[in-house]
Structure 1
Amino acid sequence: MNRLIALDMLRGYALVCIMLDHMPVSELRWFTLANFAIFDAAELFVLLSGFLVGMVWQSVERKEGRRAAQWRFARRAFEVWRALVFGGLLMALVSAGLLALDMDHTAIWHQYAVWVLENPLGFFGVLASMWLQPNLLDVLAVYVILLASVPLTIPLLLRYPLGFAAASFVLWCFAPVLNAFVPNHRLGGLLFNPFGWQMLFFSGIAMGLFRRQVMPVLMQHRRLLTILSAGMFLFGTAIIVGAKIGEPALPFRDALRLIYGGEIGKWDLDGTRYMAIMGASWLVAVPLAGIMERMAASRLGVALQQIGRGGLFSFLACVLLSVLGDAFQMNPAGQGIARRMAVDVWAILALWWISVLWLTYGAPWQVSIRLRRQAKA
């Protein structure tokens, strides 16, 4: 499988945005994706993750067979679950350490720090059962569920693509009702509704699996699709800009609301958000492909690639850096723009440095362990 440098760059960009978005008084958070698009970095990360799953599945199945691909993603689901559990424990301990130093922070709930110290085994249990999903890590719970389904669902997608798409859409339509039945620490089910977000994830997988067959057909209608995609993206941007302007833009906002209806919810994956990011994916993949490749090859683009290639390790690092960065920006209170900006830059550089260390030492070590296991088998 050949790596797509633009894909790695966008994954890295998504992680940087996720980190900054979770630092409430960050200065650079006003320039993240959520400020000029109706969707945010979470949707971008899930779509790109699905696309990568599709590409990897196709490569592994072609070289080693379907059973190998199924086993690989079953193992990957376990790895993400493990990251959710131990990442939650580590995040709670970091929060407890900050509170012990009298460094307030709002990126995560303080109760995690209380629970991990008062009842560490109980806290481990609720994380391991996924009954509790700590904020900042809650998207991993959905990722575990979706990845665990991949060994069964991708063969169905490959055999019945249209039927699978229809079933995914129907499941999305009933997502709010179904999510309410999921056992969870909060009322209403998981925060990231798996029955809604599955449609975006499997859309990404389908893009990775069928891109060679579908793209020649779509390219015959390139101009029309580009116009529709740009229109959908700009429509979402207009909603965001109108909301930021506030009261003076009320007539404009009311006119837009006549088109999209009521509230555009994130957690169930509103259709407006879904269509906007799918439109954006076409713009990035086709009319802006050359620009994206040049950006990815730049010095900044390479740094973002390295963050994106860090994968799960980079995600955990970005979450922990969100908590630390939030604490550094809030303590002492009343910091100026320059100091908060310095913390933003520090957090980004730290995320890049940690990702490079992982790629240099951690990833090769992980590969060597996998090869030794395969040799023994």
Structure 2
Amino acid sequence: MKRIAALDMLRGYALVGIMLDHMPIGVLRQVTLANFAVFDAAELFVLLSGFLVGMVWIKVEARKGRWVAQKRFFKRAVQVWLALVIGSLLLALLSALLFEFQLNHKAVWFQYSRWIMENPLGYLATVALMWMQPNLMDVLALYVLLIATVPVTVPFMLRFPWLALAVSLLVWWFAEPLNALIPNQRPGPGLLFNPFGWQLLFFAGVGMGAFRDRMMSALARHARLLTWVAVLIVLFSLTIAITRMIGPSAKPFALFLRGIHGPIDKWSLDGLRLISILAASWLVAMPLAPAFAWMAATGPGRALAEIGRGGLFSFVACVLLSIIGDAMGMIAPEGARGFVARLGIDIWVTVALWAAAATWMRREVWLGRK
């Protein structure tokens, strides 16, 4: 399948954003997507993942048949589950090692480092059974569940697209009570990333990938109107985000805006976050497509694309690097020197993520030489 450079670049940016957003005292986290919209890199990652699923499914089914496509995505679900287990193990061991060297960090809960040392088999069993989803790895837990349904849901979507959309919307509407039925280690109900809510965004991406040509030809007739509506939604999202950044002095205006949009819940994926990411996607795919294609051809764009192509390896690497970066940032001095040091740490973990992904993508070459 021919890869889309801008798509890989955006997926790489989503992984960098996830990494920086989980470094609490980092510098560059102040300029990530989450600061300029009501959604963040997690939505971008899930939507792009769904889009890739739709594209790949159509290609594989057309060439080798539906059964081969179903087997491919069942295997993919197992791979994501393995990445969740291995990543959670490495996360806990890294956290324990950092604490051993008196390097405090807040990116992950300190209890994981204790559990892995006190009861390693119990820790692995609870993660493998998905009874527990360590923070930072919890997006992969969501992804396991979504990918596991693909062999059944995508054929249904391809045959009955409108009915599939209606079912997805209905499940999203009742996401919170449905999530409460999932047994979990957390004190709160269900999974942190509510799969019944986030499935709507994921399958929206699948539909975009699977019906891309038909959708774009139908929507192109209303392109100007859709672009203006998308711009207004993105500007509204930006206004909410900037109002939050201003702080107490903007509280009256923030309360006014809240009266319009209501509470914004990330974990069950409320409607405003969903609509905002879809509106931004339209702008990227249509009026801004040439600009993003140009960015993907630049050096930084190619580096981000390489991170995006690293897939699960890049995700686990970004989680581990966020923990290391957080620990390094906490020992940085105060004042201007500390600011420069933390900025340097942010740049270092970003370059390290690219280097890890680039090495992984060339593993057949260096393993062959070895």
2:59 partner SS:
helix
Alignment of 1:58-137 (within 5 A): 58-137=58-137
Asked if residue 162 in structure 1 is aligned to residue 162 in structure 2, the reply is yes
- The residue that corresponds to 2:208 in the other structure is 207
Aligned counterparts of 1:48 and 1:340: Cα–Cα separation in 2: 30
90-99 or 252-261, larger mean C-alpha shift: 252-261
- The residue that corresponds to 2:252 in the other structure is 251
Alignment CA distance shift 1:76-1:363 (3 Å) = farther
Question: Deviation per CA, 1:110-138, whole angstroms, max 9, x where unpaired?
Answer: 11010001111001100100000000000
Asked if residue 238 in structure 1 is aligned to residue 239 in structure 2, the reply is yes
- The residue that corresponds to 1:350 in the other structure is 352
Q: How much has 1:243 moved relative to structure 2?
A: 1.4
Aligned CA RMSD, in angstroms, stands at: 1.4
Alignment of 1:173-252 (within 5 A): 173-186=173-186, 187-252=188-253
Give 4+ residue runs of structure 1 displaced > 6 Å after superposition: none
1:340 to 339, 342, 358: 342
- Matched letter for residue 60 of structure 1: V
- Matched letter for residue 152 of structure 1: V
Aligned counterparts of 1:316 and 1:249: Cα–Cα separation in 2: 38
Alignment CA distance shift 1:321-1:260 (3 Å) = same
TM-score, with structure 1 as normaliser: 0.95
Asked if residue 290 in structure 1 is aligned to residue 287 in structure 2, the reply is no
Question: Deviation per CA, 1:192-242, whole angstroms, max 9, x where unpaired?
Answer: 000000000000000000011111110000000000111111111111111
Q: How much has 1:265 moved relative to structure 2?
A: 0.6
- Matched letter for residue 254 of structure 1: L
Q: How much has 1:36 moved relative to structure 2?
A: 0.4
- The residue that corresponds to 1:375 in the other structure is none
Aligned counterparts of 2:252 and 2:305: Cα–Cα separation in 1: 42
- The residue that corresponds to 1:54 in the other structure is 54
Aligned counterparts of 2:251 and 2:317: Cα–Cα separation in 1: 40
Structure 1 unmatched ranges of 5 or more: 366-377
Asked if residue 267 in structure 1 is aligned to residue 267 in structure 2, the reply is yes
Aligned counterparts of 2:347 and 2:246: Cα–Cα separation in 1: 28
Q: How much has 1:253 moved relative to structure 2?
A: 1.7
Asked if residue 359 in structure 1 is aligned to residue 335 in structure 2, the reply is no
The answer as to whether partners of 2:105 and 2:327 remain within 8 angstroms in 1 is yes
The answer as to whether partners of 2:332 and 2:341 remain within 8 angstroms in 1 is no
- The residue that corresponds to 1:43 in the other structure is 43
- Matched letter for residue 286 of structure 2: V
Asked if residue 6 in structure 1 is aligned to residue 6 in structure 2, the reply is yes
Q: How much has 1:251 moved relative to structure 2?
A: 2.9
Q: How much has 1:259 moved relative to structure 2?
A: 1.6
The answer as to whether partners of 2:36 and 2:241 remain within 8 angstroms in 1 is yes
Aligned counterparts of 1:6 and 1:78: Cα–Cα separation in 2: 28
Aligned counterparts of 1:47 and 1:84: Cα–Cα separation in 2: 19
2:211 partner SS:
helix
Q: How much has 1:333 moved relative to structure 2?
A: 5.6
- The residue that corresponds to 1:371 in the other structure is none
Alignment CA distance shift 1:250-1:27 (3 Å) = same
- Matched letter for residue 191 of structure 1: L
Q: How much has 1:331 moved relative to structure 2?
A: 2.0
160-169 or 250-259, larger mean C-alpha shift: 250-259
Aligned counterparts of 1:236 and 1:128: Cα–Cα separation in 2: 37
Structure 2 unmatched ranges of 5 or more: none
- Matched letter for residue 258 of structure 2: R
Alignment CA distance shift 1:213-1:364 (3 Å) = farther
- Matched letter for residue 196 of structure 1: G
Alignment CA distance shift 1:298-1:258 (3 Å) = same
Alignment CA distance shift 1:149-1:22 (3 Å) = same
- Matched letter for residue 249 of structure 2: P
Question: Deviation per CA, 1:220-278, whole angstroms, max 9, x where unpaired?
Answer: 000000001111111111111111112222232222222212x2010000100000000
The answer as to whether partners of 2:332 and 2:342 remain within 8 angstroms in 1 is no
- The residue that corresponds to 2:303 in the other structure is 303
The answer as to whether partners of 2:332 and 2:338 remain within 8 angstroms in 1 is no
The answer as to whether partners of 2:157 and 2:164 remain within 8 angstroms in 1 is yes
Alignment CA distance shift 1:130-1:223 (3 Å) = same
> How many pairs align?
365
- The residue that corresponds to 1:370 in the other structure is none
- Matched letter for residue 32 of structure 1: T
